[in-house]
Amino acid sequence: MIRLLLIVLVALSLGTALAMGVQYDLGYIRISLGHYLIETNFWVGAALLAMLVAGILLVIGVVRRLTHRSGMLTGWLAQGNLRRARRRTTQGLLALAEGNWPRAHRLLEASAGNADTPLINYLAAAQAAFECGEHEQVDELLRKAFESTPGSDMAVGITQAQLQLAGNRLEQALATLIRLRKQAPQHPFVLKLLKNTYERLEDWRELSRLLPELRKRGLLDDQERTELERAIWHNLMQKAAAECRRQSDAQGSSLEPLTRLWDELPGVIRRDEHSIREYTQLLAELGDEAQAETLLRKVLRNHWSDELVNLYGRIKGHQPDEQLLAAERWLQDRPNNPELLLALGRLSLRNELWGKAREYFETSLKLRRSQETLAELSRLNAHMGEDQSSVTLLMQGLVQDNRLPDLPMPKA
């Protein structure tokens, strides 16, 4: 109310002043422009000028309103695109989870440009394209993913490596993972993928170099680490033995590749029963049974193993009689060990002590019936002229091992 009253008072004041001005003097304005001449009194000219200014201000206001409405329209359209992108992204991810790869590929790629997180769209679309067998599309989508989000090279690289591994593109996966490891040497998932790649490539030497880092980062549990270590050194020893055979064919007997590898092994592996068994077996196969026997005797003196003593009974040392005496000394501490008794029987055969060998085999059988011991005793009896005893033993072993039922048999 007060504001309206003030407006009325101001208007009346201006009107009064204008009327008094007109009565006092009309004034005169003359404007000449080229061939045109405009003449009027001052008050009409002032009114025209005021109308011109008001018209300009009106046009400026209209333009501003139109611009503002255009911005609102653009924002509204952008919001609509974002809503559609979100909806299509959700539908694409659902299709991906359901295994509908073509639909997932189409929806995720189409909505990536307007999505909140285009990186996720492109990576998921790349996975869908891979499942469709469109490998060129996979590379293109991964490139777009990299370009869409700064700092995404690690995420894109890991996805690329996983898809390369899944597609059995092992060399490409290895190149990708080596590049990623240079960027992040301690990245745990990169290290695990690198381990899997080396395993599939059977690159045991590189895997042996990677193993300390895996152990340091705690990426393997105890059982997994033990199995991996054994697999690595088993395969490396097999390769070294193969190299020994090649060198032997070319330039005479040589065990240097195998013995050099044994010296390179970590102490914990050199004390591992499986590694010792593997190494000594390879030495024996390559013709150096004496060195194998020496190593086994040293190990068994400090660390007992039924598997190693079985192997000891199969190997021929430099002095078979000393080998037999060493094993008989172990018998004093382990008189009821069937594996040791079997080994003693074999060592007795090597020393041509037939009766003692049979006694050891028979004692071992009383403690534990094993097919291996039955076979040894049966073979010995056959060569000693006791064919019936040999056949009976073999028959007993077959019946027991195959769990044959008790059935009537014809009398001889």
- pLDDT given for residue 77 in this prediction: 46
**For residue 340, pLDDT beyond 50:** yes
pTM of this prediction exceeds 0.75: no
Closest of 216, 146, 153, 207 to residue 184, by C-alpha: 153
**For residue 181, pLDDT beyond 90:** yes
Q: What is the pLDDT of residues 121-134, one digit of tens each?
A: 889 889 899 888 88
Domain ranges of the chain: 289-372
DSSP count for the chain of H helices, then E strands: 20, 2
- Tell me if 236 sits within 8 A of 207, measured CB to CB: no
Tokens of 284: 């024996």
DSSP 280-309: HHHHHHTT-HHHHHHHHHHHHHHS--HHHH
**Second CATH level (architecture) for the domain 289-372:** Alpha Horseshoe (1.25)
Residue 117: Cβ within 10 Å count: 12
β-pair partners for 30 = 39
Q: In which band, very low, low, confident or very high, does the pLDDT at 8 lie, cut at 50, 70 and 90?
A: low
Q: In which band, very low, low, confident or very high, does the pLDDT at 111 lie, cut at 50, 70 and 90?
A: confident
Beta 36-40 vs 29-33: how paired, if at all?
Answer: antiparallel
**For residue 373, pLDDT beyond 60:** yes
User: Per mean pLDDT, which of 92-106, 215-229, 329-343 is the most reliable?
Assistant: 329-343
C-alpha span between 139 and 126 (Å, rounded): 8
User: Per mean pLDDT, which of 21-35, 43-57, 110-124 is the most reliable?
Assistant: 110-124
Q: Give me the chain's average pLDDT, please.
A: 82
Would the CA dihedral through 216, 221, 225, 226 be positive or negative? positive
C-alpha span between 226 and 211 (Å, rounded): 11
Q: In which band, very low, low, confident or very high, does the pLDDT at 66 lie, cut at 50, 70 and 90?
A: low
